[in-house]
Chains A and B, each alone.
Chain A
């Protein structure tokens, strides 16, 4: 069995600061990490490989420094890492990104065997769009299973898979045919630590590095800015509110401060007090 896991190297958003004057992201010194949601996809792929045999290939599109994230994925136990990097990819929106990744997955299939499953995380923490997974599925004609919380059964001989998928009002149990694209929900598993042997292998192994041409992309116009129907017109910081919060005076006894706060709350929202009193009568 062959599984491809798409990952993205992202800035650790918890550490992002915005320049107070220029309103631009201060990237310097912000560490990069594997998009945390992708780790659930990678771990699930590794578990399936451990159980059913086969190989896991991790794929990322990004600048040359995205190599760091691929090596990290190898230390967790991925068998092969492919870096898709080319200046033509700069400025890709989700449509252009899914075009390039789908082309690379096609090429990976030709060179290393057609994947039965392509995994992505449910979304990234920098873009937050959740659009690239469905985009790859559509372009590769893979059946699409998003927000998967559990892989209940994988029947390789029968070419079938059964999963639990989070929907808005519940959990769907779905059965479909391979090959599929799965976006994995967070909290579904814990990433393994990775063995010493994998760490050594990760440090030594060569990554597969492909340009657009290497990946078989002929139409450069579908890549990067030129292949992106969306355009970012303006970037700005959220407006500050004119007035600061009205402060409740701190009394020596906390209960008095609490009473003062409640006066203010119900003074502003009198209808809420009525509703709450009714609620308490039924308690």
Chain B
């Protein structure tokens, strides 16, 4: 039973754990949870994306979908609760405490671990953000359970266990990972990998309150200051509607201006493929792909990007992918929707000009007249 030590694995015949035999004490673990990430009162959109995905898993399992919310009493947390229901949750587990006003590992990892140990979910999903990864790694280690990072696909297996698929080796391959014989099954998913579910106004449902039981003196780490990015003017590639990106085919660092010009004419964000960051042509925050940002814009224009798999996994969610490349055999034409086989350095200025002409109100008046 539960208090017996794990049986030693047999010496031969492969891994004992390959057999799915959930120990009795884990069988009480039921339900799908999404950790609702709210930083300073603002819910990260990845939490809603996860609720959409969690809803599907919960329905397949025939269990409830819950949001786990940790935050201070007040408007921000109330908003998070309402939005969690509006994005598909059946119930909310709530830990309200002033000590949870800003993210710190100590109170959040204790809080989430306590919630899991008390209410026993079978699946726990978190966003693969800086906060989510900091927290998930701690909680999984304390619970001694499996954690699969950066999943791109989540599914329920025939025996009701979670099959978490993620890219590996920089996106060259995908692998499907199971957490055998431990609960909860934990996974993180990067922002924009899953689609945003439709929001429907719903009344607040069942909210289960649980105390943190900590005092400020128990927390060693102190927050001296917080400098918000809004003050510093930060890039928001992941959530941009239009993205223009350049790759090695842009030829020279000064040609990146052509990418920026096109982006500007479309009110778009600009980015780049990994080699450009490695060359120092662009900062890491502009990198698109498996090790950079995942994007899901309406329109993505890739200029001089060959389309290595590591780039592909970061852009596949775009509604329309346009590729400009001199090499007609470049892998990017395997997943782009529209291709232009030409030199991006010469083509981009023409495209910028053509867009500007077509969109400028002056010209449109003339066209209409």
Contact = CB atoms under 8 A, between A and B. Distances in A.
A and B interact physically: yes
Interface of A: 11, 13-14, 16-18, 23, 25, 91, 93-95, 98, 125-135, 137-139, 143-147, 162, 166-177, 186-187, 221, 225-226, 228-238, 240-241, 244-248, 250, 253-255, 257-259, 261-262, 264-265, 268-269, 272-273, 275-277, 279-281
A47 B291 CA distance: 27
Nearest to B364: A277
A94 B15 CA distance: 17
Contacts of B278: 14
Interface residues of B, number: 112
Nearest to A135: B141
Contacts of B18: 231
Contacts of B337: 245-246, 268
Contact of B137 (A134, A245, A255): A134
10 contacts: A14-B170, A98-B141, A130-B137, A135-B137, A174-B221, A225-B17, A230-B179, A230-B180, A238-B167, A265-B299
B190 to A, nearest CB: 10
Contacts of A143: 105-106, 220-221
Interface string B126-155: 000111011011101110111111100000
Given A95-B140, A245-B337, A231 B147 contact: no
Contact of B361 (A144, A172, A280): A280
A134 B134 contact: yes
Interface residues of A, dominant DSSP: mixed
A277 B131 CA distance: 38
B267 to A, nearest CB: 5
Contacts, number: 296
Contact of A175 (B6, B221, B275): B221
B179 A168 contact: no
Interface stretch (B61-69, B85-93, B117-125, B347-355): B347-355
A151 B269 CA distance: 31
Contacts of A257: 340, 342, 347, 350
A91 B313 CA distance: 26
A245 B180 contact: no
A254 B342 contact: yes
Nearest to A276: B359
Contact of A94 (B131, B147, B231, B361): B147
A245 B136 contact: no
Contacts of B173: 18, 23, 25, 235-238
A225 B182 CA distance: 14
B340 A250 contact: yes
Contact of A18 (B109, B142, B163, B172): B172
B56 interface: no
Nearest to A133: B137
A187 to B, nearest CB: 5
Given A146-B134, A257-B350, A265-B299, A276 B267 contact: yes
Nearest to A36: B278
A254 B346 CA distance: 8
